[in-house]
Amino acid sequence: MNQNKIIYLDNNATTAVDPEVFEAMRPFFCERYGNPSSIHRFGGSVAADIEEARRQVASLLGTSFRDNDGNAAEIIFTSCGSEGDNAAINAAVTARPGRNKIVTTIVEHPGVLAYCRELSRRGYKIEYIPVDERGRLDLAYAERAIDESTAAVSVMWANNETGTIFPVETVAKMAHAKGALFHTDAVQAAGKVAIDLDSSEIDFLSISGHKLHAPKGVGALFVRKGTRFKPLIFGGHQEKGRRGGTENVASIIGLGRACEIARKNLVAENIQLTQLRNRLEEGVRERISHIRVNGDLENRLPNTSSISFEYIEGESILMLLDMMNICASSGSACTTGSLEPSHVLRAMGLPYTAAHGTIRFSLSKYNTAEEIDFVVEALPPIIERLRAISPYWEGRDK
C-alpha cells in the first residue's frame, strides 16, 4: 500500500464531501447565484431548489408533513449541529414558561452542554443523566429527573466518542408524560441509523451536513408541526421567519443531495462499515494486549470504535499514527497545559490508565479493507514503543 496516502479514520469529526454532492452544489456558486428571496425569476427559481433540498432532508429523517405548497415545513436549515441544538433548547424553554429545569445527559456534545451551562447562569436548573461503564443511559435516573418542573429534555441519538446509541424514543415518552418537550442531537446518527420521525414523539432533531458527506457550515433542525418555536436568530423572513439570514444556498443543496444518497445507501453502507469496524477491532485484539473497546458493543453506530490502549497516552499514539499518514482522534483533550480524559470517558468510569490511552477510529464509506489492514499492522510497534518508555507499563509484559 502507498504509505503516502492519507488513511482517514476521523469521520465523526468531519467527512469528505461526496463528489455527487459537490457536483450538485457547483451551479449555485457562479451560474445560479440569485438570492432566493428575490421577486425575479432568476432568484425565485433558486427558492424552488431549496425546497427540493428540504424534501430530501425530510425524507432521510422520516417526516412526511407538507405545508399547503407541498414543502417539508418541519425542516429549518441552520449553519451546523450546535446551532440546531441551541435553537431547539431555546425554543423548548421559551414554550414552557414557568418551568425551570432542563434534563440532559452527562455525555452530551458541547453544543448542548455549553448552552445548558449558559442557561444555568440564567437561573435554570440542569440535571444530568449518568451512564454506566458501557456508556448506557441510566433510564431509572432519567425517569426520576424528569418532572413537572422540566421544560426541556435533550438526549443525543448516538454518542460521538463511543458510538453508543441511546433509547431516545423511550426518553421522549418520559418527557411528554411530564409535559416537557424533547430534543435529540442526531448529528452522528443521521445517515447511519434509520430515523422515522412520523412514528416518533421527538419534538426537535438536529443534524449537521459535514458528518454525512455534505459541506461544513450547513445543518438542519426538525421542529414538529404544532410545536411553538421562538427563533434563535432574528433577521429577514427566511425559513418562514424561524431563522433569519440569507440562505447558504449551495451548501443547502449539498445537504439535500447528501441526505438523498444516505437514505438510498443506508443498509448497504451499514453492512460495509460494520464489517470494516469489526475487522479493525479483531485485528487489534489479536495483536495487542491490555486493550479495551469502549461503549455498548451490542448497540452502537456501525462506523465507530473507541479503543483504550492501557498505560500510555493517546496523544502520543496519534502523533506516531500521523507520521504514517493515519488520521484518528483521541479520547483526551488538552486543557490548560494538562491532558485530561474526555468527559465521556470520565462519566463511564474508565480507569485513568485506560482513559488516557483512548483512540477513536471512525470510518466512512470511502474506507477500504486494505486501509484497515494497514492500520492493524501499524499499531502494534507503535504501542510497543510507547509502553517501553511508560512508567506505568513496567513489569506488565511479563
Residue 381 within a domain: yes
The model's pTM: 0.94
Confidence check: pLDDT of 67 > 50: yes
Q: Which of 397, 391, 390, 372 is nearest to 288 (CA)?
A: 397
So what's the pLDDT on residue 334?
44
C-beta of residue 75 within 8 angstroms of C-beta of residue 221: yes
Residue 321 sits in a domain of what CATH number? Answer: 3.90.1150.10
CATH number at residue 178: 3.40.640.10
* 110 and 255 part of one domain: yes
The 10s digit of each residue's pLDDT in 132-171 is: 999 999 999 999 999 999 999 999 999 999 999 999 999 9
Per-residue pLDDT tens digits for 154-213:
999 999 999 999 999 999 999 999 999 999 999 999 999 999 999 999 999 999 999 999
Residues 160 and 301 grouped into a single domain: no
Q: Considering its fold, how many domains does the chain have in total?
A: 2
Q: With contact defined as beta carbons under 8 Å apart, do 326 and 359 qualify?
A: no
**Residue 196 Cα distances to 6, 55, 172, 201, 311, angstroms:** 36, 14, 14, 10, 43
Q: For the chain, where are the alpha helices, taking DSSP H only?
A: 19-25, 27-30, 41-61, 81-95, 110-121, 139-145, 168-177, 249-287, 314-323, 343-347, 352-355, 369-388
Q: Is 327 a catalytic residue?
A: no
Same domain? 188 vs 120: yes
**Residue 329 lies inside a defined structural domain of this protein:** yes
| pLDDT per residue as tens digits for the range 269-326 | 999 999 999 999 999 999 999 999 999 999 999 999 999 999 999 999 999 999 999 9
Q: Quick one: pLDDT at residue 72?
A: 65
**Is 135 part of any domain?**
yes
Same structural domain, 83 and 105: yes
Taking CA atoms, 37 is separated from 45, 67, 126, 246, 306, in Å, by: 10, 19, 40, 8, 45
pLDDT at 4: 80
Catalytically annotated residue among 80, 116, 327, 334? 334
Residue 398 lies in a domain: no
Are 126 and 195 found together in one domain? yes
